Structure 1
Amino acid sequence: MSVWPEAAGILHLSKASAYAAAERGEIPTIRIGRRLLVPTAALRRLLQLDEPLDAERM
């Protein structure tokens, strides 16, 4: 997903704040050409949405 508007919207950040956080490394990003993207898995980890599987689910 893109830093702006998708990731910024999820994180409730302005455009400037989202890009500044990406520049500081607080939001993990990858660059493809001119686009700065946030991997979905990285954003889920940042928001602590990835729950480890417990033994009962396996």
Structure 2
Amino acid sequence: MTEAPKTLSVPEAGAKYFGLSRNGSYAAAGRGEIPTIKLGKKLLRVPVQALEDMLSAASKRSVA
């Protein structure tokens, strides 16, 4: 059984979770709307757990 990845690229996360384009994904990440971690000087990755926690918290706020 293959384990799900713990991080995604910014474009992958933007497309999968928000239906965003590559440029839209990087813009959202730059505004802090998509959580990222920086590896080295350039590589940005999106921690899946942090993104899902953020979405869960947002959905709980919108219901309350």
Q: TM-score, normalised by structure 1?
A: 0.71
Higher strand share: 2
* Structure with max Cα Rg: 1
Q: How many residues align?
A: 48
What is the distance in 2 between the residues matched to 1:9 and 1:24? 16
2:39 aligned partner: 32
2:54 aligned partner: 46
Q: CA RMSD in A?
A: 1.5
User: Percent of counterpart pairs with the same letter?
Assistant: 50
After the TM superposition, which residues 5-24 of structure 1 pair with which residues of structure 2 at under 5 Å, given as runs?
Answer: 6-10=12-16, 11-24=18-31
What is the distance in 2 between the residues matched to 1:24 and 1:9? 16
Higher helix share: 2
What are structure 1's unaligned runs of at least 5 residues? Answer: 50-58
1:2 aligned partner: 9
Q: TM-score, normalised by structure 2?
A: 0.65
What is the distance in 2 between the residues matched to 1:28 and 1:8? 11
What is the distance in 2 between the residues matched to 1:9 and 1:26? 14
What is the distance in 2 between the residues matched to 1:3 and 1:28? 9
What are structure 2's unaligned runs of at least 5 residues? Answer: 1-7, 58-64
Which residue identity is paired with 1:47? Answer: L
